[in-house]
Amino acid sequence: MQKILILDFGGQYNQLIARRVRECNVYCEVKPWTTPLAELRAFGPVGIIFTGGPQSVYLEDSPRVDPDIFTWGVPILGICYGCQLMAHLLGGKVTPAQDDSAREYGKTLTYYDTSCQLFRNLPAEGVSWMSHGDYMAKVPDGFSLTARSDACPNVAIADEARGFYGVQFHPEVSHTQHGVDMIRSFLYEVCRAKGDWTMGDYKKTAIARLREKIGTGKVLLALSGGVDSSVAAALLAEAVGNRLTCVFVDHGLMRLNEGDEVEKAFSRWDLNLVRVDAEARFLLKLAGVDEPERKRKIIGEEFIRVFEEEAKKIGAVDFLAQGTIYPDVIESGAGEAAVIKSHHNVGGLPDFVDFREIVEPLRMLFKDEVRQLGRELGLPEYLVNRQPFPGPGLAIRIIGDVTKEKADTLRQADFIFREEMARAGEDKKLNQYFAVLTNTLSVGVMGDGRTYDHTLALRAVTTSDFMTADWARIPYELLDKVSTRIVNEVKGINRIVYDITSKPPSTIEWE
C-alpha cells in the first residue's frame, strides 16, 4: 500500500491535509516533526507533505527537519510554513514581511503558472486562502516562481526536476478554489499514486491490527448508539466476536426513545449487549452542577465507574474500547494546542481506569470516513447516517443545572425539531441539528395568561469535516412550523431562537 507522509509542524489545518489526501484514496499518516529521521524513512513514503505552522523558520528554536530528507528522491509539497521551511533549508532566505502589503491573510486572488504540474489543467487565476506574515526574499537555486498575487511575487515555487513544490497558501481548506485538485495533482501526477486505499482496505487492516493487539483478551465498549460507538462496536465484533461486551449506559440523558432504538438495532449482532439503567445515578451526580466542563468530567468519571462495575460482573476485562475520532482529539487539545473543550472519551476520563489499556480503532478517522466504514461493515443506513450526539448527552444541551424535568422538556422539543426536519427533507441536507434548552427565562402570553418560561435555541449546521461549520439556512416556513409546535406541545417553553453563528467563532455544540 502506497503511503504519504504528512510531517506536522503544528499548524491549525494539519488534520485537514490528511483528510484531503484520504479523499483522493491515498493512505497517509501524520507524524510530528520531532519523529526521528530513520523512522520517517522506514515509513516508506511515495511522497511527503510539510504542513503549516505558527512559527517563523528563521528563528533558532523553530521546528525543522533534517535536510537529509531532501536526498531521498521522494517528492515533497510544502504548505505555508512547510514551503518556507523548504526554501530556508535549501539555501533560500525567509524574512519578516517588510510592510503590511506583503503579509497576506484570508481570501486572496492568485495567479498560477499552469505549465507547473501542480496547477496544470486548472484556471490561470483563482482565490486562495493565505495565512502568512513572513516572506521568501530569496528562493533556492533550481526553483522557479509558479504563482503570484498582487502583493506577493512568490506565492508558489517549484523545482520540478526534483519534485519539490511549495505554496504559501492553504490548498487543503475549502476557501481555496481547486485546492483539492492541486493536492490530487501532487499525489497522482508527481508522486504517481495509484489510489489503492479505501475504507474497505482500512477495515481489513484495522481488524487485523485489533486481533493482533487484543489477542485473547476481553473488550468492554461504551455503546451510545451514535455513529462512532456503533462503528467501533461493529469493527470490534468482526475482530474479536463475542469477547466484546458492549455496555449501553442509559444515563437518562438520551434523545426520545433512543434507548429502545439502540437495543433493538444491535439485537442482530454477535456481541454481548448489556443495558444499564443509570438515570437516577447520573442525575444525582449532576445535581446543582452548571459548569459545562464539570458536567463532562462528572459524566466521564461516572461512565468509567459503571464500566468497572459491569466488568466485575462479567469477569476480567482487558481493554476499554472507545469511539474516539480525529475531531475529538483535535478539540481536546494535544501538546501545545489550545484546549477548546474536553470530550468525555478523550480528556474527561478519570486518572484511574481499571483496565489494562484503551483501544481507539477510529482515532485517525474523520466523521465521513467513519460513516463509510460503517457501510463497509454492513451497518444499516439509518444508523450510519445518525445525527452526531455528544457522549454527555443532553447534559451539555441543557444550559445550567440538569434535572429530569429539564431533560424531559428538551427531549420532547428536540424530537419535534428532528421530526419536522425529516418530514421536510431537510435532514438529508444538514450534518447536525438539535435543540438547546437555555437557562434564560422570559415573559410570554399563552391564552389570557402570563408565562415565565424557558427559551429554547435551535441549532443546525452544514459541514464537511466537523472542524469548521456554517449555520444552515433553514426555510422560514419550516422554522415557523417547528416553533409553533414546540410552544404549543411542550410545557415550559415559550420562546424559540435560532443560532446563526458558524464554527469558528462558535463550536457546534453550545457547551
- Catalytic-role residue among 88, 132, 170, 251: 170
Catalytic entry in 104, 172, 302, 511: 172
Phi, psi for residue 341 in degrees, rounded to 5:
-165, 145
Give CA–CA dist 266/40, Å, rounded: 41
Closest CA to 26 of 10, 57, 46, 4: 4
CB 294 within 8 A of CB 194: no
* CB atoms inside a 10 Å sphere around CB 338: 8
Q: Is 152 exposed, middle or buried (0-12, 13-18, 19+ CB in 10 A)?
A: buried
Query: Rounded distance, CA 353 to CA 322, Å?
Result: 13
DSSP 3-state percent helix, strand, coil across the chain (nearest 5): 35, 25, 40
Rounded Cα–Cα distance for residues 101 and 7 (Å): 30
In the DSSP assignment, the letter for residue 97 is: -
Opening angle at CA 168, ends 180 and 148, nearest 5: 95
Phi–psi pair at 222, nearest 5 degrees: -80, 110
Angstrom distance (rounded) from CA 170 to CA 179:
8
Contact (Cβ atoms closer than 8 angstroms) between residue 242 and residue 269 = no
**Long-range pairs, 275-281, Cβ under 8 A, ≥24:** 275/248, 275/250, 276/247, 276/248, 276/249, 276/250, 276/306, 276/310, 277/250, 278/249, 278/250, 278/251, 278/252, 278/302, 278/306, 279/250, 279/251, 279/252, 279/253, 279/404, 280/252, 281/251, 281/306
First to last CA, the chain: 41
* Cβ within 8 Å of residue 112, ≥6 positions away: 119, 122, 123, 124, 125, 126, 146, 147, 156
How far, rounded to the nearest angstrom, does the alpha carbon of residue 313 sit from its chain's CA centroid? 35
Identify the active-site residue in 80, 83, 191, 246: 80
Locus of grid cell 489494562: 356
Burial category of 216 from C-beta neighbours within 10 Å (exposed 0-12, middle 13-18, buried 19 and up): exposed
* 80 belongs to the catalytic site: yes
Give residue 457's Cα distance to chain centre. 24
Which active-site residues does the annotation give?
A: 80, 170, 172
